[in-house]
Structure 1
Amino acid sequence: MLYLGLILVYTTALVCILQVLQHYRTAQSAIGWIIALLTLPYLALPLYLVFGRNRFEGYARARRKDDRKLDNLAFQLDQLIAPHRPLYQQPDSSKEVFETLARLPFTEHNRCTLLVNGNATIESMFNSILNAERYILTEFYIVRDDELGLQFKTLLMKKARSGVIVFFLYDDVGCAGLSSEYLRDLQEAGILVHPFGTLRSYLKRLQLNFRNHRKIVVTDGETGYVGGINIGDEYLDRTTRYAPWRDTHLKIEGPAVMGLQLSFLEDWHWATGYIPELPKPNLAPKYDEDQKALILATGPADELNYCELFFLQCINQAKSRLWIATPYFVPDIQIMSALQLASLRGVDVRILIPRKPDHKFIYYATYSYLAQADTAGIKIYRYEKGFMHQKVLLVDDTHGVVGTANLDNRSMKLNFEVSAIVHDKSFVAELTQVLVRDFSASNTLPASQYELRSLPFKLLCRAARLLAPIL
């Protein structure tokens, strides 16, 4: 019996090794998995089956199965936003790359409003939900059954009972603590509720690694929200562990909202198997502002690593300034090399990270990059006033980005993410002021902060970095 067990374990390990050789994206991760599967198969097999896969095949298959439906949805969206495509006086290769990655065009006639921290975001978001007349789309990685979560539930139930169509899509890993009573109350009020993938389905497909990290709210197809803020008391400083919580969200009004709506509908289609029919939104220009914006949705079902390609494009095109705010700085070799090269060619490269971590392994892994950053002239700043969770990027004076993607392997290759790219000088100027205030509340983190530490600390940092592919 023991002999048969050994044969089964090593045969399964061999099958996994063959899968690694067929689908690996980095040589480092492939070598690590192969060595582990050969030497410690009892330990490595369950870890690989849960964390080792790097492509969300189920989502991709669902897209292929209903290509006609999704193509028709994309065509309808294209017809809606066609009158809002900007006419550029001369070709702009950087915008063309962004549009290729997003599979959507930039649109004009948008108004993009920066929302700094939780109170401003929740107030604006709740007001938009309250004023919705036809439909509300909500999608979050985390929804908590706490004070803010109950306020959110009450508001959605009120709108559903008034006749507004309400959708509630949530990630079952991020919302693992959400009670069944909470979900039942939403459903009994007439809200369409569904997890992006139940824990059972994740385990059935052995795809626990793939999480829907998006935070999207769309009301009537005319107003949308995207950024770093979920639904939980910590985002309003109602809990003391991470307070004050520093975050950034974005309110979009105009045709670019259709990009958020398309992302939501594709996710809903994966989760439920159908695409809901929604009323046609009114996208007629109605604002004094005329900002150009584009929504970029990325994930492990993409044919290419669109999220990483997006970051690489931003880094490579920067001429004078590249400012990135991220709570998790665990770049792979391609991103780190691009950052170093940008700094060496004279770009002001700044990375803003939190002093107070919410994930210890990531905190230690980040320290292992200090020497590489310092040698190339990259400035790493540590935000001192609480926990910084924003995901913001600023390139030169041309465009700013607010979204859900972090500068780590999970966002680049494993999570479903969404970002808004805004090409507008006034928006960039406002975002610059926000980041300048954040940098003034931060201290630089030179290489000496790592090099002068104890050997056990350094070993811990290096060991944590080895786990970067799954952090």
Structure 2
Amino acid sequence: MHFDLLQISTLVIAIHLLGLIAAGHAIMSVRTSQGAIAWAIALAGLPYFTLIPYLFLGRTRFTGYVRKRRQRNTQMRGDSAEPNWREMHEQMEITGVTPLHPGIRALTALTGMPFLPGNKVRLLIDGTQTFAAIFAAIEAAKSYVMVQFFIVRDDHLGRSLRDLLIRKSAAGVAVYFLYDGIGSFSLPSRYIAELAAGGVHIREFATKRRIVNRFQLNFRNHRKTVVVDGQCALIGGLNVGVEYLGEQPPLSPWRDTHIEVCGPAVACIQITFLEDWYWVTQKLPAIEQPRPLRDAGMYCQLIPSGPADSQETCSLFFVEAINSARERVWITTPYFVPDESVFAALRLAALRGVQVRILMPSRPDHRVSFEAGLLYAYDAVRAGIEVYRYLPGFMHQKVVLVDDVAAAIGTANLDNRSLRLNFELMLLTVDRGFASEVEQMLLADFSHSKRVHANDYLQAPAWRRFGMHVARLFAPIL
């Protein structure tokens, strides 16, 4: 009995020592002070419950991954032909807006991507319209197709995509398929093998360089991209699964937004895919450069972001978009757990008289994020921000509308995972006509939503309010 107690005491001491060591690691490596504090307190006080989650979730700086990713990006750009951005500008008559606008200048410097005219962007609302456009674009491919999704499922939608890609490969079209290893963890090996046997170049985006990182849940690739022949690209919020078609209760109907892009901006989207593909394969597919569309004058700025960026690109993009608003900024997000800089920008915009609207779901798909988001919503309302909860089904779109001229659509949520941990992609458009389309779409969404009021918090049961506050403690690591 004495020996058993000694063993137990030794184990308890060892766990607490490991917790203290991990807490020190968190202080040195987690990218935000709030996240470092959250992890350090949890690891020091409750190591039994937090050591294993920290192994999977907490190592957010990934010094080795970041260094290697930057090296690979440099190698990729050296091995590939950089598009002639100046020629693309000179081929178009630049009118209406100047790329020297301070906000645009900041974003081009932040991303390393140019602000390009001569594009056409089509708004795609919900899954049926989006996948009809994706399948039509792939059907029309003559040379190559690049496909990238965070989640791919082996359901009837996933199988339809598989069969189409195999058919195009058999017709001589080069097909490159990249899926995220964690987002698509349930994808059976049979699905992958069938694509590979059909001539599709399929790879997993993963962090399996070392055993300790085999189950690393961060450094995920959250992008959803389809590029066809270098002339057309589709990006947005939808993954490949029947839930995105609204066929999976209790979250159906599923509300989401995608866009189809033609013109020079496709070159930027191709580059982000090539960086991801090169990270996995160290090889480069042959590509074509898009042509400016002389009958389209839309200006576009691609905002790729990820944990290997020298700056916190995604967070800074939201701050710049909010700060640039003079009349309104409307944001839709499935997870409203902003960092301090974005939340401060939102509150300050409301205080200076800008109409700030946030649209979030009324149904949760992740309970902790949902409860934390509710508390942020109540705090936002007290600062003069209008917050709405979408009622018909789950709201998953990622849209930003600034004044009556700028709109951004893509993959980034307003949570720490998108702002700092995931690879994301947003396309900023500067065009009054397109902004008007986005406005009409969002007005329809708001008409099916319930506005949040400050007294809703006080009317909630005490146990629910306590749960919200506990959930928000995890905000820096959600």
Contact 1:245/1:386 (<8 A) preserved: yes
Aligned to 1:406: 413
Q: Deviation digits for residues 17-42 of structure 1, max 9, x if unmatched?
A: 33223233333322222222223333
Identity %: 42
Report the CA distance between 1:208 and its aligned residue: 1.5
Give the corresponding residue for 1:417.
424
Asked whether the equivalents of residues 72 and 278 of structure 2 are also in contact (C-alpha less than 8 Å), the reply is no
TM-score, reference length from structure 2: 0.92
Aligned counterpart, 1:126: 135
Residues 398 and 425, structure 1, Cα contact 8 Å, conserved in 2: yes
Q: In the alignment, residue 275 of structure 1 is paired with which amino acid?
A: K
Closer, same or farther: CA 291–202 of 1 in aligned 2, 3 Å: farther
Residue 15 of structure 1 and its aligned partner are, at CA, apart by 3.6
Structure 1 counterpart of 2:311: 304
* Cα 1:202–1:269 shift into 2, 3 Å: farther
Residues 355-412 of structure 1, C-alpha deviations (whole Å, 9 max, x = no match): 1221222221122123321221100011112111100001112310000001111111
CA distance in 2, matches of 1:173, 1:90: 38
* 1:57 aligns with one of 51, 63, 85: 63
Distance 2:362 2:331 in 1: 15
SS, match of residue 300 in structure 1: coil
Q: Which amino acid aligns with 1:53?
A: R
Output the amino acid matched with 2:19: A
The 5 A counterparts of 1:229-378 are 229-272=238-281, 274-281=282-289, 283-286=290-293, 288-378=295-385
Report the Cα offset of residue 10 of structure 1: 4.7
| Aligned equivalent of 2:196 | 187
Query: Is 1:79 paired with 2:84?
Result: yes
CA deviation digits over 1:114-134, x for unaligned, max 9? 001111111111111011011
Structure 1 position 425, deviation (Å)? 1.1
Instruction: Describe the shift of the 1:135–1:381 C-alpha distance in structure 2 as closer, same or farther (beyond 3 A).
Output: same
Match of 1:228 in 2: 237
In structure 2, the residue matched to 1:386 is 393
Structure 2 residue matching 1:388: 3-state secondary structure: coil
Paired with 1:374 and 1:132, the residues of 2 have a C-alpha distance of: 48
Instruction: Kindly indicate whether the alpha-carbon contact (under 8 Å) linking 1:63 and 1:70 is maintained by their aligned counterparts in 2.
Output: no
Paired residues of 2:180 and 2:206 also in contact (CA < 8 A): yes
Aligned alpha-carbon RMSD (Å): 2.1
Paired letter, 1:13 = G
Aligned mates of 1:252, 1:114 — CA distance in 2: 9
1:244 counterpart letter in structure 2: P
2:149–2:225 CA contact under 8 A, matched in 1 = yes
Q: Residue 137 of structure 1: SS of its match in structure 2?
A: strand
The alpha-carbon deviation at position 50 of structure 1 amounts to 1.4
Amino acid at match of 2:225: I
Per-residue deviation, 1:238: 2.6
Amino acid at match of 1:447: A
- Structure 2 gaps, min length 5: 1-5
> Which residue of structure 2 aligns with residue 465 of structure 1?
472
Unaligned stretches of 5+ residues in structure 1: none
- Structure 2 CA distance for partners of 1:8 and 1:205, relative to 1, 3 Å: farther
Relative distance call for 1:207 and 1:301 in structure 2 (3 A) is farther
Question: Contact 1:77–1:258 (CA<8 Å) still a contact in 2?
Answer: no
Aligned to 2:223: 214
Alignment of 1:147-166 (within 5 A): 147-166=156-175
Q: Normalization by structure 1: what TM-score? A: 0.94
Of 56, 70, 78, the residue aligned with 2:76 is 70
Judge conservation of contact 1:160–1:189 (CA < 8 Å) in 2: yes
2:336, 2:377 within 8 Å by CA — same for their partners in 1? no
Choose the corresponding residue for 2:37, options 31, 36, 48: 31
- State the secondary structure of the residue aligned to 1:210: coil
1:43 counterpart residue number:
49
Letter in 1 for 2:24: L
